[in-house]
Structures are given as structure tokens and as C-alpha cells.
Amino acid sequence: MELKTARLTVLIDPSKKKAFEGLCARQDVTPSQVVRRLIRDYLASHDVEFDPSGVEETFLDRKKQSRAKR
């Protein structure tokens, strides 16, 4: 799971945006969740690997904190 985020601005036709947001609401998901899923699927379909942001750093931070408590 990603722990850090970055903003992606997308220009879209207003009527498509409204229809997309309506569909997302009916499916009880946020537009951001759907876009993130689309990007993950697109990367996977092209065999592009990536490390989720923040996962490794958080593990190392916890390890450092654990050592500091000793």
C-alpha cells in the first residue's frame, strides 16, 4: 500500500466528469480509488514494476525507532 502521495491533474470534459463521479458514487468508491486502480492495471499490463512510495522508508523508520527504545 502506498503511504506517500503525489498529485496528478487531469483535464476532462465536464459531462464525462459528472458521469464518472456519479458512477463512482453508485459503486461506493472514490474517483481517486478508480484512477489509482486504472494506473496500477495499466502499469501491470505493460509489465512495469514499481515499489509503492513510502513502504521501505516506513519499515526502516520503525526499525530505527525500535533500536532507539532499547
The string of pLDDT tens digits covering residues 8-55 is 999 999 999 999 999 999 999 999 999 999 999 999 999 999 888 766
- What does DSSP assign to residue 52? P
Q: Residue 57 has what pLDDT?
A: 57
| 2 closest CA partner among 60, 64, 63, 58 | 58
d(CA 6, CA 53) in angstroms, rounded, equals 10
User: Whole-prediction pTM value?
Assistant: 0.71
What separation in angstroms does the CA of 56 have from each of 24, 33, 48, 63? 31, 22, 19, 11
Q: Give pLDDT, residue 70.
A: 62
Share the mean pLDDT of the chain. Answer: 86
Whether pLDDT at 5 is above 80 = yes
